[in-house]
Amino acid sequence: MIFTSLLSAFLAVAIYKYVEPPCGLAVTDSNGQPVYTRYGDDILFSGDFQRTFLSSEPTDFTSAAERVTTAVVNIRAMESGSYRLWGSGGVGSSSGSGVIISPDGYIVTNNHVIEGGNRYEVTLNDHREYNAKLIATDPSTDLALIKVDADNLPFLVFGNSDSLRVGEWVMAVGNPFNLVSTVTAGIVSAKGRSIDILEGDYTIESFIQTDAAVNPGNSGGALVNTNGELVGINTAIITRSGRYEGYSFAIPSNLAQKVIYDLKEFGSVRRGLLGVKIGPVDTRIAEELDLPAIEGVFVSSVVPGGGAYEAGLKAGDVIIGVNEVKVKSIPELQEQIGRLHPGDKVEVHFIRNGEQMTIKVTLRDENHRTGFVLAEDTDVLERHGFDLRELTVIEKRRLRTRGVFVDKIIKGSIIASTAMDPGYIITKINDTSVNSVAEVVELLKKNKNKEVILEGFYEDYPGEYYYTFRVK
């Protein structure tokens, strides 16, 4: 009887697998349409361009490859009038890959692919060629956005890089050695990798590591899941020979999407910062602080005036999560914060004196501002020679006033000629009260080619101070 039961169960499962076709995961609304999520109000990041559920299970890449290869392009960055060891005609060039992310011609690639050129040529999978214009770049994440003048182009849908799991199949598509649509496959080897290849104070390295074969010409190409969704931008390899040796790295799509949105909308990345200096958690720190595991991010110091400072985070705290997302390392923390803007509020989970705690932090930019400052607004401030920020909550409470803080003054500038010093707090411009950098910029724009009077004070000196200059 036992033998008959086992045989019957085995045959039932075998027959079911033979008869029933393979199934995948699909999430639909009441009308049977796929469920999407919006990112801002821009069409690039609205419903039709991003799905957020898990990638599909099949390991057959044929369908995905057919969709993806048409949306991956070759990019040549040329520098007219320069001479290099190789090349001809007095024009230096480099090449890489790019991914079309909208039907009207927006293309994402790596910054290092295009940074050496001033002219850009894009070749599509069907051999059509276009000249592209540079929209903006972000060296801190090694991303760039360019655009070709075309319509109805094939494009890739953003996938959810957070749903990737170690061991999951992925496919890399690019144009190494100028070969059109080269496809390789591998698995996700690790997530949240930092390999110290980017330079700068605000770099974010939280790469997806795979063993899909990636060569130099793959830079800027697509990393997709088995459903053909964009989950990463191929960026780097670790190699001793200059060629592929088994380790390749891609920028997660969830981070790339935020950067691309900012580049398109603002011309630069609006990066929210916690306002802390951090380090890894090692065995010694874990033992001294009685941590439950050797993981998290150690807060070595807190920046005065930053969001963490105002919220009450202290040196010696260990951050273990952001917005219910667990963070085990510095790259994981940087990626989560790097997706947010100044002014965004985040829940920071941390351990202090052996106790788990949570606080809400309002992110600020590098100048402690919470609002957006457009590139053109920054130009207005730089043209006159000063850098401004909003007063912090603590400063407003202590000074019992509202205004804008002068953080830096450039020597030889219009503002420097007024004898103003850093630390000046602007409260009015031409008798109009100001409470934000945006309000100051707007008033300067309205009074172009006219004289304005700044009214304000210094915290450590009594009385009001006035400065007059002509707006350029």
What number of H helices and E strands is found in the chain? 10, 24
Q: Report d(CA 349, CA 318) in Å as an integer.
A: 9
219 is catalytic: yes
Q: Three-state DSSP class for 357? A: strand
Residue 223, beta-bridge partner list: 172, 232
194 is catalytic: no
- Residue of 97, 112, 341, 365 with catalytic role: 112
142 is catalytic: yes
How is residue 392 annotated by DSSP? P
Q: Report d(CA 274, CA 307) in Å as an integer.
A: 6
Name the nearest CA neighbour of 220 among 331, 334, 95: 95
Pair 339, 426: CB distance under 8 Å = no
Name the nearest CA neighbour of 429 among 415, 411, 410, 413: 415
Which amino acid would we find at residue 365? D
- Residue of 56, 181, 206, 219 with catalytic role: 219
Q: What are phi and psi of 308, to 5 degrees?
A: -65, -35
Q: Which two tokens stand for residue 294?
A: 């050797």
What is the residue whose two structure tokens read 């390899």? 237
Pair 117, 94: CB distance under 8 Å = yes
User: Cα 396 to chain center, whole Å?
Assistant: 31
Q: Report d(CA 160, CA 72) in Å as an integer.
A: 19
Q: Report d(CA 343, CA 51) in Å as an integer.
A: 26
Q: Report d(CA 179, CA 221) in Å as an integer.
A: 13
The full length of the chain comes to: 472
Residue 134, beta-bridge partner list: 146
Which amino acid would we find at residue 183? V
By the 10 Å C-beta count (0-12 exposed, 13-18 middle, 19+ buried), 150 is classed as middle
Q: Report d(CA 6, CA 16) in Å as an integer.
A: 16
Which amino acid would we find at residue 257? Q
Q: What are phi and psi of 263, to 5 degrees?
A: -60, -40
- Residue of 56, 93, 142, 206 with catalytic role: 142
Q: Report d(CA 313, CA 456) in Å as an integer.
A: 31
Name the nearest CA neighbour of 214 among 169, 171, 244: 244
Catalytic residues: 112, 142, 219
